[in-house]
Amino acid sequence: MTDFLSALQSRVLVCDGAMGTMLYSKGVFISRCFDELNISNPALVREVHQDYIKAGADIIETNTFGGNRAKLMTHGLAPQTRDINVQGARIAKEAAGDSVYVAGAMGPLGIRIEPWGKMAIAEAKDIFREQAEALLEGGVDLFILETFSDLNEIQAAILGVRDVSDKPVIAQMTIEEDGNSLEGTPPEVFARKLDEWGADVIGLNCSVGPQTMLDAIERIAGVTSKKLAVQPNAGKPQNIEGRNLYLCSPEYMASYARKFVQYGVGIVGGCCGTTPLHVKAMRGAMKSILPKEAARNVGSGFIPAHAGVKAIPIVEKSRLGKKLASGEFVRMVEMIPPKGHDYTRAIEEAKYLKSHDVDIINIPDAPRGSARMSALALSLLLEKSTDIESLTHYTCGDRNLLGMQADLLGAFALGLRNMLLITGDPPLTGDYPDATAVYDVDSIGLTNMVSRLNHGVDVGGKSIGTPTGFVIGVGVNPGAINNDEELKRFYYKVEAGAEFALTQPVFDPRVLERFLKRTQDCKIPVVAGILPLNSFRTAEYLNNEVPGCSVPDSILDRMRNAGTREVGVRIAREILKDVRGMVQGVQIRGPFEDYKTAIEVLD
């Protein structure tokens, strides 16, 4: 059989269609792990391959799109990673014989990787390498990396494959209706990157139909000389009598296949909703068409989004930023958002705190999972109605990555400048225990996102024009049970762009001191959280039921013996006195909506 890349120069190759669509049509439940069928029902997988080969496919993909260890783990199949991939490749090779190329299919991990998630790029690369190694053992002719939306992840996949093989790599991203990736990266940007990272063929698959892909492929053709691949869905699924059906006809798909070739596409195929009938129609359309090198003005007119953008110095961002930059001691008090929409009392309390020389009000996001005013809304109302700045908690729990970006751009436009970026707790308790959370990223990924906005770039690498100027705060817990893990995450946050840190409540200054000694090379200001105890019951609860919170026996004994609010205030003052020389500020979290206690501690 002719070398794959040589064949690509001489004719347009037709790839197969959707494996999942065909398996589902043959009675496999959508909840099943389709990749595992390579072991439990190889005859069914082989039948799908044969159907596509009979339809005229030049390339068939192995049934291993979700065959990486991370995805298989969710089905309890991680120990079978190698066997699933080796067997998937062998089934395809048996069906293909000597006339059809077998592409080892590899999809995303289903886990966020850095800078948006906790998984390191090196770890992701190792997982992809493991899968590529098994596919290679099974005998694949090439690799197809498909349905990726994160450039960092597809780079890790390319690196993982290149660690074990120099066989051809097709690298395909998935796009939205605007032609950009699901994370907002323009096709001109990701095509350049895939070219730079050594993909032999650059392409698009999934999510949208052929018309949208044609527009995007035209943009890609202008920035790379590599061969292109396109595998659209059979249109958007339509709900008909409770069933999601893809309605693009085979003839319609074939008409667009001819159009794709005009822009240098050398591989046409299909994704979700496509069947052997679609592949047969595309095969017929390709019979009389030779590959065409579209006229490409590669490299013209595209300027990196971040070129020439100057970030705003922290000293110019806000009054808090100026205090942190100049080394001034910051006095901060936490304010719980009100229930309902009446914020009159909050305004009165804010003015009271300002009159007692409080620098900033720290507003947590939806405490206790109850239906309260959002932290963003209260922050805006306070800054509009008083002369005190707010520090707004912004959490990852209720919004996806693009939704968070939209929120923050709007918040900056409305005047908010100080953000405390935290992962947040799932709403498993409180008034709405059945509420769900999103957690598209954690606080590290969120910090990376806001840092990019501060440099004039969105999550997809596109310019937003004038950069934002948020002061970026992050949380840290010096008393975490796994202190090494907490330290590692703190370093990641600083690397991502954190400009100051706010600790969980400190009850033992020695614990804070030890943590700060371990973070001496992280040159960002630290603000210590202090929580005045109002009873022994509160102290006991914090010590036994709040992870990472440890109340020393000496304080427990004092609260047990006296147990009054006055003793709690006295202890908080003592802690403040002990930590003042270690940190650049304190935040007082008074008993629920009791701001006089906070002032007593500060005074």
Please tell me which of 110-114, 261-265, 279-283, 285-289 the model is most confident about, judged by mean pLDDT. 279-283
Q: Are 233 and 206 in contact (CB under 8 A)?
A: yes
How do strand 237-240 and strand 243-246 relate by DSSP bridges? antiparallel
pLDDT (mean) for 18-46: 91
Q: Which amino acid is at 467?
A: P
- Which amino acid does the sequence have at 20? G
**301-307: long-range contacts at Cβ-Cβ below 8 A with a sequence spacing of 24 or more?**
302/188, 302/189, 302/192, 302/223, 305/189, 305/456, 305/457, 305/458, 305/461, 305/462, 305/463, 306/455, 306/456, 306/457, 306/463
Longest dimension (CA), the chain: 92
CA angle 53, 58, 60 (to 5 degrees): 65
Per-residue pLDDT at 523 = 83
Phi and psi, residue 356, nearest 5°: -105, 30
Gap between the Cα atoms of 580 and 588, Å rounded:
13
**Would you place residue 442 in the very low, low, confident or very high pLDDT band (cuts 50, 70, 90)?**
confident
The order of strands in the sheet holding 13-14 is 13-14, 265-268, 227-231, 201-205, 169-173, 142-148, 101-106, 59-61
Averaged pLDDT, 3-29: 91
Contact 601, 341 (CB under 8 A): no
Check: CB of residue 96 under 8 Å from CB of residue 104.
no
- List, for residues 193-240, the tens digit of each pLDDT value: 999 999 999 999 998 888 889 999 999 998 999 999 999 998 775 554
Looking at residue 292, its pLDDT comes to 59
pLDDT band at 105 (very low <50, low <70, confident <90, very high): very high
Share of the chain above pLDDT 90, in %: 63
Distance, in Å, from the CA atom of 448 to the CA atom of 454, rounded to the nearest integer, reads 10
Q: What is the pLDDT at residue 237?
A: 59
Burial letters for 171-199: b for 16+ Cβ neighbours within 10 Å, e otherwise? Answer: bbbbbbeebbbbbbbbbbbbbbbbbebeb
Q: What is the spatial distance between Cα 318 and Cα 471, in angstroms, rounded to a whole number?
A: 7
Local structure of 15: helix, strand or coil: strand
What pLDDT score does 295 carry? 43
pLDDT at residue number 437: 46
Q: How far apart are CA 329 and CA 319, in angstroms?
A: 12
How many helices (H) and strands (E) the chain has is answered by: 23, 18
Residue 153 has pLDDT above 60, yes or no: yes
List the alpha helices (DSSP H) in 287-428.
319-326, 344-355, 375-385, 401-413
Q: Which domains does the chain have, with CATH numbers?
A: 4-286 (3.20.20.330), 315-602 (3.20.20.220)
Q: How far apart are CA 97 and CA 141, in angstroms?
A: 12
Q: Which residues of 23-40 are buried (b: 16+ CB within 10 A; e: fewer)?
A: beeeebeeeebbbbbbbe
Q: Which two tokens stand for residue 106?
A: 């590899």
Closest CA to 401 of 448, 365, 336: 448
Amino acid 370: pLDDT: 61
**Token pair recorded at residue 412:** 């900056």
Q: How far lies 80's CA from each of 67, 130, 424, 482, in Å? A: 9, 12, 35, 31
Predicted local distance difference test score (pLDDT) of residue 554? 92
The one-letter code for the residue type at 309 is V
* d(C-alpha 311, C-alpha 499), whole Å: 13
Dihedral over Cα of 152, 154, 155, 159: its sign: positive
pLDDT of residue 342 exceeding 60, the answer is yes
- Is the preceding peptide bond at 509 cis, omega within 30 degrees of 0? no
Q: Is the pLDDT of residue 113 over 80?
A: yes
The number of CA neighbours under 13 Å toward the Cβ of 119 is 18
Which helix (H) or strand (E) is 157 found in, with range? Answer: helix 151-162
CA distance 499 to 565: 34
Q: How far apart are CA 574 and CA 374, in angstroms?
A: 33
Q: Which amino acid is at 162?
A: R
CA dihedral for 377, 381, 382, 384, sign (positive or negative)? positive
A 10 A CB-CB count for 578 gives 16
pLDDT band at 429 (very low <50, low <70, confident <90, very high): very low
**Of 178-187, 435-444, 464-473, 512-521, where does mean pLDDT reach its minimum?**
435-444
pLDDT at 293: 52
What DSSP assignment string belongs to 591-603? STT-HHHHHHHH-
Task: Mark residue 83 as left, alpha or beta (left: phi above 0; alpha: psi -120 to 50; beta: remaining).
Answer: alpha
Averaged over 447-465, what is the pLDDT?
89
Whole-number average pLDDT of the chain: 88
pLDDT in tens, 155-206: 999 999 999 999 999 999 999 988 899 888 899 999 999 999 999 999 999 9
Residue-wise pLDDT tens digits, 359-407? 999 998 765 556 779 999 999 999 999 999 999 999 877 677 788 899 9
Average pLDDT over residues 240-256: 73
E strand or H helix at 494:
helix 483-496
Q: What is the pLDDT of residue 462?
A: 82
Q: How confident is the model at residue 244 (pLDDT cuts 50, 70, 90)?
A: low
Residue 77 per-residue DSSP state: -
DSSP letter string over 100-112?
SEEEEEE---SS-
User: How many angstroms separate the CA atoms of 297 and 223, rounded?
Assistant: 7
From residue 595, alpha-carbon distances to 188, 277, 332, 358, 388 in Å are 54, 70, 11, 11, 15
| pLDDT value at 332 more than 90 | yes
Alpha helices in 240-306 (DSSP H): 250-261, 276-286
| pLDDT > 60? residue 425 | no
Residue 432 has pLDDT above 50, yes or no: no
pLDDT of residue 94: 97
Least confident among 269-283, 418-432, 563-577: 418-432
Closest CA to 533 of 550, 556, 553: 556
Overall pTM > 0.75: no
- Closest-CA residue to 498 (of 306, 318, 321): 321
